[in-house]
A = this chain, B = another copy of it.
Amino acid sequence: MNGGNLFGDVPRALAEEQFTELLAAPNLRVERIVSTGQANPPGFWYDQDWAEWVVVLVGSAGLLIEGEAGLRVLGPGDYLHIPAHARHRVEWTDAAQPTVWLAVHHREGP
């Protein structure tokens, strides 16, 4: 039975965001993401084949969903379900502390 701690070994500074796979199954992938101020480059959009349920546990981030006028600012506990192919981008992440995300990627459909 595999386990661990989401808040263990959180790096304080990273050249790039850190993605750690916690669980992988045919239709499911759970990962921890740590950001330390990173953002997506101008013009970059995530366009994912799987849906993503995502929560910020520590820190904060500004997320832009294509077609929405304003940013969604996520702080501790804020979660969002992003359907497959709903284009989105991370405009900013907390520069003062690491941001710890938990992402549940899942293949939709029957």
Give the interface of A toward B (CB within 8 A).
1-8, 22-23, 25-28, 30, 51, 53, 55, 57, 65, 72, 76-83, 86, 102, 104, 106-110
Contacts and interface: CB of A to CB of B under 8 A. Distances in A.
Given A25-B106, A28-B28, A57-B57, A6 B79 contact: yes
Nearest to A8: B77
A67 B30 CA distance: 27
A76 B3 contact: no
B77 A30 contact: no
B26 A109 contact: yes
A105 to B, nearest CB: 10
Nearest to A110: B26
B77 A3 contact: no
Given A3-B80, A4-B78, 11 more contacts: A1-B80, A1-B82, A1-B86, A2-B81, A6-B55, A6-B78, A22-B79, A23-B104, A26-B109, A104-B104, A106-B106
A53 B22 contact: yes
Contact of A27 (B5, B27, B55): B27
